[in-house]
Amino acid sequence: MERGYWIKSKPVYTSLVWHEKATSHLVLAAGIGGMAALKLFQQMHPAQPVTVLYAKYAQMEVDYSATLKKVVPENLHVFKFEEDLLTELKSIMPHMHMGLRIYVAGSEGFIWDVAKAVKPFGVDDAHIMKELTDTLARSVYCVHCKAVTKNVTTNIVPCCGCERMLFVRDHFSRNLGAYMGLMVDAESPGELPAIEEIYP
């Protein structure tokens, strides 16, 4: 990683903190992201209504739902899978108004699935507070065949669509929720740099 160099599209994640100014709050968490939600409830509890949607079984199969049920006073909905959570999210979004603040915690894939789900309702991802928990594993979009390879932990990965060896870039697509992958040995086929795990 070159010092002082940054690809602007690479997302920056923070720790979740309640927005002081809001009319309602919506917390979305999956797997280990449940811990980030629990940490929110260690802060001063907002005066405005709070809704929490939690999916138990993310990639790492951890479950904070029992603890969440103890600390979330109302409107906690627990789901078995992320897809169920996203379905519920899409069904409640039409009833939301300006002043809603959205908080999301989980894997990068989950964060951007949420961003994609709320975008048609007029919520820009810049206004979603995002905490990356879980893993650094990336979704990689093949710029050659357009397939997305999920859960990539290495600097170079074979594309799940065309089997080209892709170099995983920091160049990120908010629309796809994935990093760009480019064929790494196009000019000298078979000559590959060392493959290392850098997104554990």
Partner 1 sequence: MNMIDVRVAAIEQVTPLIKHFKFVKEDGSQLPPFSGGSHIVVALDAEDRTYRNPYSLMGSPTETDAYHISVRRQENSRGGSAYMHENVSVGMTLKITHPVNLFTLAKMAHKHILIAGGIGITPFMSQIEDLNRIGADYELHYAFRSYKQAAFVEELQKSCGNKLHCHSDSDGKRLDMEALLSNQPLGTHVYVCGPSPMVVAVLETAKNLGWPESNVHNEQFLAPPVGESFKVQLAKSNLEVQVPAEMSMLEAIEAAGVQAEYLCRGGVCGRCELSVLESDGGLEHNDHFLTESEKASCSKIMPCVSRTKGKLLVLDL
Determine, following the binding rule CB under 8 A, whether residue 126 of this chain makes contact with partner 1. Answer: yes
What is the smallest separation between the CB atom of 20 and partner 1, expressed in angstroms? 9
For residue 154, what are the β-bridge partners?
197
- Least Å distance between CB 43 and partner 1? 17
Residue 29 or 123: the one with the smaller Cβ distance to partner 1 is 123
- β-partners of residue 83 are none
Instruction: Scan for tokens 């908010």, then name that residue.
Output: 174
Q: Which of 93, 99, 170, 103 is nearest to 130 (CA)?
A: 103
Tell me the closest approach of the beta carbon of residue 28 to partner 1, in angstroms.
Answer: 15
Contacts of 45 (CB under 8 A, 6+ apart): 73
**Rounded to the nearest whole angstrom, what is the least distance from the CB of residue 72 to partner 1 in the complex?**
20
Would you say 161 or 175 has its CB closer to partner 1? 175
Question: What is the per-residue binding string for partner 1 in 5-34, x denoting contact by CB under 8 A?
Answer: --------------x-xxx-----------
Distance CA 92, CA 10 (A): 29
Interface residue with partner 1, options 49, 99, 161, 193 (CB under 8 A): 99
Among the listed ranges 3-11, 75-83, 97-105, 158-166, the one in contact with partner 1 (CB under 8 A) is: 97-105
Using CB under 8 A as the binding criterion, the count of chain residues that bind partner 1 stands at 17
Strand order from edge to edge, sheet including 138-142: 148-152, 138-142, 178-183, 165-173, 156-158
**Closer to partner 1 by Cβ: residue 8 or 97:** 97
Least distance from partner 1 to the Cβ atom of residue 126, Å: 7
Q: Which residue has the tokens 């160099």?
A: 5
- Closest to 195 (Cα-Cα) out of 144, 150, 158: 158
Among positions 16, 68, 123, 184, the unique one binding partner 1 when judged by CB under 8 A? 123
Report d(CA 100, CA 57) in Å as an integer: 26
Of the candidates 55, 195, 61, 52, the one whose C-alpha atom is nearest the C-alpha of residue 113 is 55
Among 3, 97, 188, 194, binds partner 1 (CB under 8 A): 97
Query: Which residues are near partner 1 by CB under 8 A?
Result: 19, 21-23, 93, 96-101, 121-124, 126-127
